[in-house]
Every structure is written in structure tokens, then in C-alpha cells.
Amino acid sequence: MSFFRILNFGITRRTSISNTHQSNCECCPNLIKIRPSSSHDIIRVPIEVVLSDKFNKSLAFTLEERQRLCIHGLMPACVRTYDEQMLAIETNFHSFESNVARYRYLRALRQGYERMYFQFVSKNVNVVLPIIYTPTVGLACTVYGMLYRGMTGIHITKHDRGHMKQILGNWPLAREVRAICVTDGQRILGLGDLGANGMGIAVGKMELYTALAGIPPRMCLPVCLDVGTNNKSLHEDPLYIGLRDERLQGDEYVGFVDEFMEAVVSTFGSQTLIHFEDFATPNAFMFLDRYQQCYCHFNDDIQGTAAVGLAGLLGIQRITKKPLEEHVILFAGAGSAAMGIASLLKIELMSRGLTEADATKNIYFYDQDGALTTSRKSIPELLCVFAKNMKETKSLEELVEQVKPSIIMGATSAPGLFSEKIIRTMAANHERPGIFAFSNPTSKSECTAEQAYKFSDGKAIYSAGSPFPPVEFNGKRLTPGQANNCFAFPGMVLGTMTVLATRMPDEIFLLCAHELAKFPSNEEIQSGRIYPLVKEANKVAYKIGVEAAKYLIENGYAKRTLEPDDVEAYIKKHGYKLNYGRSLAETWAYPKMKPNPSTAGHEKKQKKK
């Protein structure tokens, strides 16, 4: 079969259509619009391209396009407008009874009709995010093998050592890739080791790059490093999609990730942004440190969550009118999120002139071994400054009574950890206690919105990683904030990619926290909501993107020559266009993709040894 669909369907046949359908024809009123001019020559576009996920407009192809692209007759007569297409998708979406079924429907939509998919997501962020992102994506990852329906990114297994560059080059849009979200699936949300099923998270994160920050999907490549899984039930699951081996460990594992990083740079260029997601905590910190000087990378669970956590704390400062340094803050959990937030908080307090000792004196930690005290045998280096010389306790309730925190931040994946007693004690000690339940998905929250409001008599300033609906309490409608890194990473990557930054310095996460904290109006802050609404996530990403880009330019991290004043215009011009824009016919007339300049003579790799 010929690759090109070169049918003899030019002037002659078109003219005959026009001839048989007169201007008063009632059966196909659209046909009369076809004018016999040279602009209506057929376009020799491979049918695979016309009907590919990137270009397929389905019933939105106009009659003229259908004829010129030789797809006339392959679909019914109706030509749908944008609104009609959205209505059709919305109707389908809401017809499903379960969220996993909605997820499955959206996967199919993305795979068949990419632009329509992003139109729908962007228009319905509020209802769609809980499906393609937390909490449903978590559930979907647990049954990812069953839901699997084709290529969504690159899978690299431990057997691919020595060939990773070649594998990355197999990606059909390899020349376009500018950002990667990579996971090894070891700590998927609060659900633990899901192995190769973790790909669902990388896909979901990158969809927010496009839906919230306007980054074209062709620039985004989700990657799963399949280094095995220690989750025995996956080994036995007949539908599991990954290797049924124990995880690689030690030097072998680190060498594997090193090769991956080198292969990314040599395939896509040195300014490729590499987003680490859902690695187990010690590995997450180890890679963040290991690649610090060599790659443009960040860890979303540490740095993205830190920015969002600090923004929430700044919001509490606005409500309580008490500076953060006077709050007593208790972290429950000592994983990526908690350590990331505490470290950024320390930087924030030290930027206010406090010494490290003063900045950390009111910050407490509690984990599975109890309160973090100086008498503990082995303490991770980052946590040493937070250990307190105090009585040991294994009970969080006892610790809350003892240190009287005004803010508690949970990132434990231990649902229900914030008991009634804890919330009541905090409310008895403070006018407006801050309660953060960061753990995802919803089933892992340390307490629900309803519990926080009920047990605190409506005083709690409550936020959670996953979405909770508003709660009616004593005739008042209380709206929880969503303390999720989706308010940070889309903007951060937008700024970084816009200027082709060489690195992502800590300062931009601080900047991000301050920008995010400005979003809630005074009225919203007074109502107890310290984060914007999810439907505003687009605006948030744009603002953070612009400010981050300016910072990176002004501080010498930008490779692209761009003036700070031109950043907004650049972002607007190059963002992903949700409307169909130029027709495929026009697009096809200018199909030449520029080669990736960075791959032409990419920098010498300088992996830290």
C-alpha cells in the first residue's frame, strides 16, 4: 500500500460535485460553499497523519478540508463546531458512573484526538483534574495494566543498559522533545511501589504542562525507568506491564539512572528539562544532589511541594497576622514533601535575618519512629538541624499536647493520623490552627476537610493535597485549599523552558511560593482559603512562568537571548494553541521542523562522579 494517499480527486471530481449540487441544494447546504479555485487542490497528506491524534479534528473537519484531504465520506455529513464537540465530550464524560471509567474515556480521547482532549481539559480543569491527576490517576495506576491502551511514553528497563540513547531516539517526535518527566514508580503518591504502572503519573504530570502552562505536548516525553518492583502482588498480576523482578539497587541502580541522564542530554540536548517524580525519598534526595551541577532538573515531590507548602504558610501568616517565625510548626512525616517544605521554610526564615538555629527552633518533626529528638541514633543529614533536645515520644497526640503547634503539616500517607483529639487540642490552643493533609490520593489524607472543620469548631485553616469539596459548617460554607504541587510545577517548567535555562536554582522555588501566596484575595484569605481555586491554575502557571523566566534571565541562567520585558509576549506567541488554528492543509505546506539546535553540538557531558 502506498504511504501517500494520492487519489485522483482533484479539480475534475470536485467540479463535478459542485455541478451536481446547485446553490439551492437543500440536502447538503455546505457543499455549495466549495469554490472551484486552485486553493482547493487536494493536499497529499498521508491518511495516517490526517487521522492521527495530532491532527484529527473528527467531525470538525470542514467540508472543504474533507475534500482536499481525501477523507470525504469517511465521516458522517455533520460538521461540528467547537461548542458542539465540547458538548459531545462532556456528555460522554458525565455518562460514566465511575471515575476510572472517565479516566479510561479520557485516555482514548487523548490517543485519538489530542487537541480536542486538551481543549476539553483546559475548559473543565475543575472536573477533569481529579480524574487525570490526583486522586483518580492513583487508582488508575493500581490497575494500569488493565487500562493499558498503547504508547504514552518511553519505558526503559534494566536490560536496556548500554542502549538508552537508541531507545530515546525511537520516540516518534524525538526531535521536538524539550522536557521529560521521569519516574521509577517506587513511591507513587502515597500508594507505594507500583513499578512500571507509575507511568500513569508521569503522563498525568505532563498533561498538566500542556493544559495549565500551554507547553506543546510534542515537547513533552513521559519516561518510566522499569528497574523492577518489590511489590509482590504485581509480580503475580497477569496484567502487569513491567518487569517481574526485584528492583535494581545500589551502584547498579545509580549507574542505570546516570546512563539515562547522559542519554537524555545526548539525544535531546543539554537544556532538556528533567522532572523527577515519585522516586523513593532517599533516592529522590540523592539524585537531586548528585545532578545538581550537571543538568537542568528538579524533583517535584521535594521542590514543587516545598513551594506550595511555603505558599500555604505565607497564607496562614496573612490570616493570623503573626509572622511565620512566631508559629510552632509540626511536620508529621519525614519524606520528600515534609523535608522539602521544612528546608524551603528554613531558607525563607533565614532570608528574614534569622540564624539557622533561630529559624529551626520552632519546627518539629515526627515520623514512624516518633518525635525527632537529638537522642535518635541515625538522623538524615537534612533533618539534623530540626532534631530537638526533648523527651522522646512515639505518640503524635502526646507530642501535640507537649509542643502546642499552631500549624501541623502531614505528609505521611497515614490516613486518619490527625485524630479528633489532635485537632481539638490545636483548636483549644490557637484561634486559627493550620492543618495541612498533603498525602495523596484522597484515601491517604491525614484527615478530611469535614473532620478538620468539625473538630476545630470551624476554626481550622485546612488544606489538602487532593481535592475536597466545600463543607457546610454552622451555616457557613468553608472551602478547603488544595495544597498540591500542580500550583507550582507547571509554572516553574514554563519559565525554565521559555528561557532554555541551564539549571533550576533553589531561588525560583522561593519565588514561586511568594507568587502563589499572592493569589488568594484578602476576602478569600479571610474566609480561610490560602490557595487559589483549581480553576485558576492556568493563571497561576502563567504568572509563575513569567516571573521565573525573568528571574532566570536576570541571574544568568538563560541560554535563550530574551529580554525580561519580552517574556510575556514570547510565552503568548509560543504557547500551545487550543483552537485548531491553521488548517492541516496549511500546516502541511510548512512541515519542516527545525532541528534541535542543542543536539547538533551538545555539550560535553559532565556527570558528577
Report the interface residues with Mg ion, using CB under 5 A. 278, 301
In whole angstroms, how close is the CB of 485 to Mg ion at the nearest point?
A: 7
> Quick one: what does residue 226 bind among Mg ion, ligand OAA, none, with the CB cut-off 5 to 8 Å set by partner type?
none
User: What is the grid cell recorded at 242?
Assistant: 513491567
184 makes contact, choosing from ligand OAA, Mg ion, none, with CB < 5 to 8 Å by partner type, with none
Q: Does 152 bind ligand OAA (CB under 6 A)?
A: no
Is 326 annotated as belonging to a binding site?
Answer: no
H, E, C per residue of 534-550:
HHHHHHHHHHHHHHHHH
CB of 277 to Mg ion, least distance (A): 5
Asked if 406 interacts with ligand OAA (CB under 6 A), we say no
Q: Which three cell numbers stand for residue 468?
A: 475536597
If one asks whether residue 440 binds ligand OAA (CB under 6 A), the answer comes out as: yes
Q: Which of 481, 509, 146, 139 is nearest to 318 (CA)?
A: 481
User: Which CB, 130 or 433, lies closer to ligand OAA?
Assistant: 130
Question: Annotated catalytic residue: which of 113, 117, 133, 580?
Answer: 133
Which amino acid, one-letter code, is at 607? K
Q: Is the dihedral of CA 595, 500, 288, 600 positive or negative?
A: positive
Candidates 57, 205, 459, 543; catalytic one: 205
Whether 381 has a binding-site annotation, put simply, is: no
Copy the grid coordinates of residue 448.
Answer: 478530611
277 labeled binding residue:
yes
Q: Which of 301, 348, 367, 446 binds ligand OAA (CB under 6 A)?
A: 301
Closest approach, Cβ 533 to ligand OAA, in A, equals 16
299 binds ligand OAA (CB under 6 A): no
For residue 223, the minimal CB distance to ligand OAA (Å) is 16
Residue of 484, 496, 498, 583 interacting with ligand OAA (CB under 6 A): 484
590 has catalytic annotation: no
Determine whether 205 is an active site residue: yes
- Classify 607 as helix, strand or coil: coil
Pairing assessment for the beta strands 434-437 and 407-410 based on DSSP bridges = parallel
Which of the choices ligand OAA, Mg ion, none does residue 134 contact, using the CB cut-off of 5 to 8 A by kind?
ligand OAA
Give the phi and the psi of residue 226 in degrees, each rounded to 5: -90, 90
Nearest to 309 by CA among 288, 283, 282, 336: 336
What is the DSSP track for 454-468? HHTTT--EEEESS--
For residue 603, the SS3 value is coil
Contact 485, 304 (CB under 8 A): yes
Among 300, 348, 367, 547, binds ligand OAA (CB under 6 A): 300
Q: Which residues have CB under 8 Å from 78's CB, separation 6+?
A: 59
189 forms part of the interface with ligand OAA (CB under 6 A): yes
Among ligand OAA, Mg ion, none, partner that 440 touches (CB below 5 to 8 angstroms by kind) = ligand OAA
Q: Which of 312, 333, 335, 465 binds ligand OAA (CB under 6 A)?
A: 465
For residue 295, the cross-strand partners are none
Near ligand OAA by CB under 6 A: residue from 56, 85, 119, 134: 134
Residue 345 half-sphere exposure toward CB, CA atoms < 13 A: 39
Residue 267 interacts, among ligand OAA, Mg ion, none and using kind-specific CB cut-offs from 5 to 8 Å, with none
Closest CA to 280 of 331, 345, 230: 230
Q: Which is nearer to ligand OAA, 305 or 583 (CB)?
A: 305
The DSSP element (H or E) to which 11 belongs, if any, is helix 11-20
Taking CB under 6 A as the rule, does residue 333 contact ligand OAA? Answer: no
Q: Is 273 helix (H, G, I), strand (E, B) or coil?
A: strand
Q: Which residues contact 103 (CB under 8 A, 6 or more apart)?
A: 131, 132, 136, 137, 139, 140, 147
484 is in an annotated binding site: yes
What angle (nearest 5°) sits at the alpha carbon of residue 290, between those of residues 289 and 296?
A: 80
Q: 161 to 180, contacts with ligand OAA by CB under 6 A?
A: none
CB-wise, 305 or 360, nearer to Mg ion?
Answer: 305
228 vs 465, which CB is nearer to ligand OAA?
465
User: Which residues are known binding-site members for (S)-malate?
Assistant: 187, 440, 484
Binding region for ligand OAA (CB under 6 A): 133-134, 189, 278, 300-301, 440, 465, 484-485
Catalytic residue ranges:
133, 205
User: Which residues are known binding-site members for a divalent metal cation?
Assistant: 277-278, 301
